Amino acid sequence: MPNPYTRLGNRAGLITAFAMIGSLIMFGWLTYHGAPLKPGTSAPFCGILALELSFSKDRTNSVLMNWKKPLPGDPTTTLTTLAIHDIYWDFLFIAFYASAIALLCGRAATRHTGGWAAILLILAWAQPLAAVLDIIENWGMLIMLRDGSVDSSQWPFITTISAATKFVLIGTGLLAAFISLICSRWNKHSRLPIDKRSR
């Protein structure tokens, strides 16, 4: 299985750093931008997560109804409009985080061999799938937001399954990459000659 990190050659480190920095900036911006979104009356989550993981028709309609309220401090704009803008910004975030995690997993794979390296490469190439699921999730949320309500649980179910699977792929990829990179650095340090380690 090809390694997305090594395929970039000498530019791999710089591109990975750029993708990571872009991901952090976009995460911070989306957290700030979506802060006014509040959960619906039956939503266990706040922010855009309230709609991402709404699952049922009743819970979704509760969130959508709650977001028809005006934005605090701006009576001409509704929370629905804010949520739509938040989702549009998220498309840029998708490009950054999918690239960053895939490259981190690829970099970690270069420091391991055998089955674990293969698992890291699988997780690297799973990130484009996470990006596709995120796009499907965003598409479903945009449809629900523009309609203002749902008549069935079809779109809530699709967006929830897409979001949940996406989070599993992202979380597993990040966890595996960071643990692998930390362990490889630790092992490299522990193999240094005693005279070098004591300096």
In this predicted model, what pLDDT tens digit does every residue of 119-156 receive, in sequence order?
999 999 999 999 999 999 999 999 999 999 999 999 99
pLDDT at residue number 194: 44
| DSSP reduced 3-state for 122 | helix
Positive or negative, the CA dihedral 9, 20, 167, 185 is: positive
- Distance, in Å, from the CA atom of 7 to the CA atom of 74, rounded to the nearest integer, reads 48
Q: Could you tell me the two tokens for 33?
A: 């931008």
137, 163 in Cβ contact below 8 A? yes
pLDDT band at 181 (very low <50, low <70, confident <90, very high): confident
Give Cα 21 to chain centroid, integer Å: 14
DSSP 76: E
What does the pLDDT average to over 180-189? 76
pLDDT band at 189 (very low <50, low <70, confident <90, very high): low
82, 133 in Cβ contact below 8 A? no
Reference 171, options 134, 121, 127; nearest CA is 127
- Distance, in Å, from the CA atom of 73 to the CA atom of 50, rounded to the nearest integer, reads 22
- Distance, in Å, from the CA atom of 79 to the CA atom of 73, rounded to the nearest integer, reads 11
Reference 93, options 33, 38, 34, 19; nearest CA is 19
Specify the range with the lowest mean pLDDT, choosing from 1-10, 31-40, 55-64, 103-112. 31-40
DSSP 10: G
Q: H or E segment at 179?
A: helix 154-190
